[in-house]
Amino acid sequence: MEVFIALIIGFLYGASVYMFLRRSIVKLVLGIIFLSHATNLLLFSTGGFLRGSPPFVDEVGSDASLPVADPLPQALVLTALVISLGVTAFSLVLIYRFYKETGSVDLDELAQMEKK
Amino acid sequence: MTVLIPVIIPLSAIVLLIATRRWLIAQYIISMISMTVLVINALSLLTTLQLKGYLTYQASGWPAPFGITLIADQFSAIMLLAVAVVGWLVMMYAIGFVDAARKKAGFFILVQGLFAGVNGALVTGDLFNLYVWFEVMIMASFVLITHGAEKQQLRGAVKYVVLNLIGSVFLVSTIGLVYSKTGTLNMAQLAMMIQQQDVSELMNSYLMLFFIAFGIKAAVFPFFFWLPASYPTPPIAITAFFSATLTKVGVYTIIRFYSLYVDHDGFAWKEIILWMAAATMIFGVLMAASSFDFRKILSFHIISQIGYMIMGLGIFTINSLAGAVFFVVHNMFSKTAAFMAAGLVYKLRGTYELKDSGWVYKDKPLFALLFFLPALSLAGLPPTSGFFGKLFLILAGFESEDWAITITALVVSIFTLFSMVKIWNEVYWKKPAEHTVLSHQPVKVNLLPVAATVAIVLLMLLPGVFAGSLFGYFSRAAAQLMDVESYIKAVFP
């Protein structure tokens, strides 16, 4: 499981860097989405993957020998998810307004416009 | 509780502002009340901390490693006070400066959001909580920087949003990695672990990631490219808010993390920080020297002066840290004052281009004075606060015999003076070029922005007058910063 998740995270990071290096700002936003997904998965995986172990011990503590799953990363990832949702929504609106104002989604054209 | 108020007040102000968003007068009053309470609270925090050293608040009463810890020491109280005072004045300025359309579209709500994030980042003692406050802060700044959605704002915002997001991603992934390795998110407990167990080798890689994240926020070389692209684009009142808060919080967190976690004898941290400081200074000042737009020059100068703050941190003696704190405070006032003065000129001339401007000194001597004093302060001429800020840093550099960085700082100062003289000559003194048409009707500049600028210029001069006693106070704050043991004890009594 760890290897699988690690591969996915790595792939998403790679994909986001690739998207960032493209010229179109639509792909830039896709890069942002991949980047935040990769990060959320990374956060999620920090607690480790323990199958079938509860995130708490019972009152008497009879099962103290059993491994206890860590519930905190899931709380963290929930917070991070909400934040990345907000960021993604904002960046989508931003590129839409950007396109309406400039009539272009190309960052190179943008740089040329700046020179003028 | 006093630790919680800097966060609670802006957040409750947001609720009230949303409820009253149709009545501008109510918006003004609520915003000003919120800022006033922040100033008063920061003052009371500062006096309490002189007696007690630290103030902590465990959220919901959960003891330290399990709940979220809020902690204020003297350094954070100084920052809180400076942010609140500058924020108060810029708020006054913004009320008279920002156009009505923007004001009605939630300008004041966003500014309170910005302050909630900034204050939260200044008092938090928890890594993930720090990330959340940073996010609150940058989300507010994202919307502020695009507020009004002019073409140039959108262009700047694309770079700003992407680079700051990458910074946040670095921050949150590092927090996740630190948590998976150490099992704690509490800043004090992490410091304790580093002291008790030998994990410093491991920490170096995490700290490097942290410094990349905070370096992007603080606009340190080589992560500063978002700043000159985006700061000059929104209305100058917004830039003034940013110059007083965003990068300074980045510097605050760099100083906090460096003093808490870095093993100063190990790895070449000092060299790295000092090289970054030197490069930041030089690149910032050279780019400022090569641009011909009022706001761009001032924005590049922010970068150059971040270098001075990082230099004080890199040398890491009590004197240099105190100098760095002094410089941060000086810069928040002087730079914001300079931006505000630039805004006044814009109202008068309708342009930020140096070549299209001129004769402001002839038409409005007061405006010229209002730029002249911050410019002297930024360039570091006595008896302004900038002179003492640089003096303390350079003395500390000589004491610790870091010649290269000290000489760099001195040379960069001269270039700063050059840029300031350039603005002065072009905007205030020069006879306008013939093809430019200056309107000779008396321009109506609102009284409120002028009053706010006068007030901030006067306040900016105070640190120069009381430099000695302030430096003594900042030295105590610096000594407290270096005393990691008592920071841990304050959180785990």
- Tens digit of pLDDT for each residue in B13-37? 999 999 998 888 999 999 999 999 9
Whole-angstrom distance between the N-terminal and C-terminal Cα of chain A? 53
Residue B103 distance to chain A (closest CA, Å): 20
The pLDDT of residue B53: 84
Interface test with A, best of B155, B170, B186, B226 (most A CBs within 10 A): B155
Q: Is the pLDDT of residue B322 over 90?
A: yes
More confident residue, B71 or A101: B71
Burial category of A84 from C-beta neighbours within 10 Å (exposed 0-12, middle 13-18, buried 19 and up): buried
Residue B440 has pLDDT above 60, yes or no: no
Measure B335 CA to nearest chain A CA, in Å.
26
* Chain A contact probe: residue of B128, B162, B166 with most A CBs at under 10 A: B162
How many residue pairs from chains A and B have C-beta atoms closer than 8 A?
Answer: 77
**Look-up: residue for tokens 């004075």?**
B369
pLDDT at B111: 93
Rounded distance between C-alpha atoms, residue A27 and residue B64, angstroms: 43
pLDDT band at residue B12 under the 50/70/90 scheme = very high
Residues B110-124: b if buried by 16+ CB within 10 A, e if exposed: bbbbbbbbbbbbbbb
Percent of chain B with pLDDT over 90: 41
Q: Do A42 and B128 touch (CB under 8 A)?
A: no
Flag if B169 and A36 touch (Cβ within 8 Å): yes
Determine the residue among B158, B181, B185, B226 to mutate to test chain A binding: the one whose Cβ has the most chain A Cβ atoms within 10 Å.
B158
Mean pLDDT for the stretch of residues B419-424: 88
Q: Is the pLDDT of residue B442 over 60?
A: no
pLDDT value, residue B22: 86
Distance from CA of B206 to the nearest CA of A (A): 14
The mean pLDDT of B372-392, rounded to a whole number, is 88
Q: Which of B135, B169, B178, B186 to mutate to test the interface with A (most CBs of A within 10 A)?
A: B169
Q: How far apart are CA B307 and CA B287, in angstroms?
A: 14
Model pLDDT for residues B246-264, shown as the tens digit of each residue:
999 999 999 999 998 887 7
Report the number of distinct structural domains present in chain B: 1
pLDDT given at position B345: 86
Residues of A in contact with B158 (CB under 8 A): 25, 28, 94-95, 98, 107, 110
pTM of the model: 0.93
- Residue B365 confidence (pLDDT): 83
* pLDDT of A115: 65
| Cβ-defined contact of B149 to A79 (cutoff 8 Å) | no
Q: What is the mean pLDDT of residues B342-352?
A: 83
More confident residue, B364 or A34: A34
pLDDT at position B205 over 90: no
Domain ranges of chain A: 2-50+70-115
Supply the pLDDT for residue A7: 95
Yes or no, beta carbons of A43 and B139 under 8 Å apart: no
Mean pLDDT of chain B: 88
- pLDDT for res A107: 76
Please tell me which of the candidates B128, B146, B172 has its beta carbon nearest to residue A39: B172
Q: What is the reported pLDDT for B98?
A: 86
Distance CA B337, CA B332 (A): 8
Distance between B180 CA and the closest CA of chain A, angstroms: 5
- Are residues B3 and B56 in contact, defined by beta-carbon separation less than 8 angstroms? yes
What percentage of chain B carries pLDDT values higher than 70?
96
Return the SS3 of B186.
Answer: strand
Confidence grade of residue B1 (pLDDT, cut at 50, 70, 90)? low
Angle, alpha carbons B392-B394-B396 (nearest 5°): 70
Interface touch A32/B157, C-beta < 8 Å: no
Please give the pLDDT value at position B350. Answer: 78
Partner residue facing B162 (CB), from A32, A42, A101: A32
User: Which chain B residues have any C-beta within 8 angstroms of a chain A C-beta?
Assistant: 128, 132, 135, 139, 142-143, 146, 149-151, 154-155, 157-158, 161-162, 165-166, 169, 172-173, 175-177, 179-180, 185
A46 interaction partners in chain B (CB closer than 8 Å) = 176-177, 179-180
State whether B173 and A87 contact (CB < 8 Å): no
Q: Do B151 and A102 touch (CB under 8 A)?
A: yes
The answer to whether A98 contacts B154, with C-beta atoms less than 8 Å apart, is yes
For B171, which residue in chain A has the nearest alpha carbon?
A39
From B177, B182, B175, select the one nearest B198 (Cα to Cα). B182
Range of the domain at B123: 5-491
Classify burial at B455, counting beta carbons within 10 Å of its beta carbon; exposed 0-12, middle 13-18, buried 19 or more: middle
Q: Residue A114 pLDDT more than 90?
A: no
Q: What is the DSSP string of B119-183?
A: HHHHHB-BHHHHHHHHHHHHHHHHHHHHTT--HHHHHHHHHHHHHHHHHHHHHHHHHHHHHHHHS
Q: Is B471 left (phi over 0), alpha (psi -120 to 50) or beta?
A: alpha
Tell me the pLDDT band of B325, cut-offs 50, 70 and 90: very high
Please state, in angstroms and rounded to a whole number, the distance separating the CA atoms of residues B7 and B118.
9
Q: What is the pLDDT of residues B101-130, one digit of tens each?
A: 888 888 999 999 999 999 999 999 999 999
8 A C-beta contact, residue B460 and residue B415? no
Would you call A87 an interface residue with chain B, using a CB distance cutoff of 8 Å? yes
Asked if pLDDT for residue B63 goes beyond 90, the answer is: no
Q: What is the helix (H) or strand (E) element at residue A108, kind and residue range?
A: helix A107-115
Chain A hits for B154, Cβ within 8 Å: 94, 97-98, 101-102
Residues of chain B positioned with their CB less than 8 A from the CB of A43: 172-173, 175-176
Q: Which residues pair with B126 in a beta bridge?
A: B186
Inter-chain residue contact A91 with B161, CB threshold 8 Å: yes
| DSSP string over B13-74 | HHHHHHHTTT-HHHHHHHHHHHHHHHHHHHHHHHHHHHHHS-EEEEGGG--TTTS-EEEE-H
Contact B179 A73 (CB under 8 A): yes
Nearest-Cα residue of chain B relative to residue A43: B176
The CATH classification of domain A2-50+70-115, taken from the options 1.10.287.3510, 1.10.30.50, 1.25.40.10, 3.55.40.20: 1.10.287.3510
Q: What is the mean pLDDT of residues B419-434?
A: 83
Mean pLDDT of the B45-74 span:
87
Q: State the pLDDT at residue B439.
A: 55
CB contacts, 8 Å: B149 with chain A: 97, 101
| Secondary structure in 3-state letters for B286-328 | HHHHCCCEHHHHHHHHHHHHHHHHHHHHHHCCHHHHHHHHHHH
> Mean per-residue pLDDT for B142-171?
87
Interchain pair A42, B157: CB under 8 A: no
Closest Cβ–Cβ partner in B128, B155, B172 for A114: B155
